[in-house]
């Protein structure tokens, strides 16, 4: 169990983590699995989550006018946040849901209240992205991590780290254990969007890219064990 002085972490979760096998909508099986993972992790650290909405609407690739599509995507993250909050509470985890977009169902963004909730042992879910179009939830995650003073930004993906090339297409691709922010920016490795990388660099927040779907990998990451690929100031 965590105690006073527990590490404060922020986890970026894509909408895919809640999706059915088709990649769209909300799967109750996937939702239950994610809530279980977060419930376990929240007992080990002060944990905040930024949730994506790509399982419902993926703004930039939706085929719709960009501003409207991004606005729809932001609303999709709120739907995912509500689902996750409800399921976490079934697991006995108190979770508050703050949104960059005001709704009757969510709390407004409030840095102090979020930090107080984390210190009480509650989990904080941030939805609504940044509240602005043309910005991804990766950037929202970097901003929220900076606001709450997170010591690490966890990027949960379907792969176990960053590779020199797409391992599904290039059998010679090798996993990189450590990278610098500068290497990621220079090589455009697709870890997160470039604005998010730069924000983390400026605020000295390491990024850990790991496989969220691998058994116990989130727990290991929260415990500080060696998993995935770490992005820091030096490689």
Burial-class residue 234 by CB neighbours within 10 Å (0-12, 13-18, 19+).
exposed
97-145 pLDDT per residue, tens: 999 999 999 999 999 999 999 999 999 999 999 999 999 999 999 999 9
Question: Distance between CA 135 and CA 50 in Å, rounded?
Answer: 14
Instruction: State pTM to two decimals.
Output: 0.93
CA distance 9 to 14: 16
Fold (topology level) of 8-232? Carbamate kinase (3.40.1160)
The residues spanned by each domain of the chain are 8-232
Share of the chain above pLDDT 70, in %: 95
Quickly state the pLDDT bin for 57 (edges 50, 70, 90).
confident
């Amino acid at each position: 169990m965590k105690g006073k002085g527990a590490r404060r972490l922020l986890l970026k979760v894509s909408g895919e983590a809640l999706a059915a096998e088709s990649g769209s909508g909300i799967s109750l099986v996937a939702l239950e699995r994610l809530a279980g993972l977060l419930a376990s992790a929240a007992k080990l650290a002060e944990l905040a989550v930024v949730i994506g909405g790509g399982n419902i609407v993926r703004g930039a690739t939706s085929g719709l006018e960009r501003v409207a599509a991004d606005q729809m995507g932001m609303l999709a993250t709120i739907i995912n946040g509500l689902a996750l909050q409800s399921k976490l509470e079934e697991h006995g985890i108190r979770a508050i849901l703050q949104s960059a977009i005001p709704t009757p169902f969510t709390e407004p963004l409030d840095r102090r209240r979020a930090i107080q909730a984390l210190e009480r042992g509650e989990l904080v879910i941030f939805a609504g992205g940044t509240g602005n179009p043309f910005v991804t939830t990766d950037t929202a995650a970097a901003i929220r991590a900076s606001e709450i003073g997170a010591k690490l930004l966890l990027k949960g993906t379907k792969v176990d780290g960053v590779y020199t090339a797409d391992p599904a297409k290039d059998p010679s691709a090798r996993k990189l254990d450590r990278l610098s922010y500068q290497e990621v920016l220079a090589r455009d490795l697709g870890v997160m969007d470039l604005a998010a990388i730069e924000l983390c660099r400026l605020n000295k927040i390491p990024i850990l890219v790991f496989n969220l779907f691998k058994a116990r990998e989130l727990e290991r990451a929260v415990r500080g064990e060696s998993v995935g690929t770490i992005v820091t100031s030096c490689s």
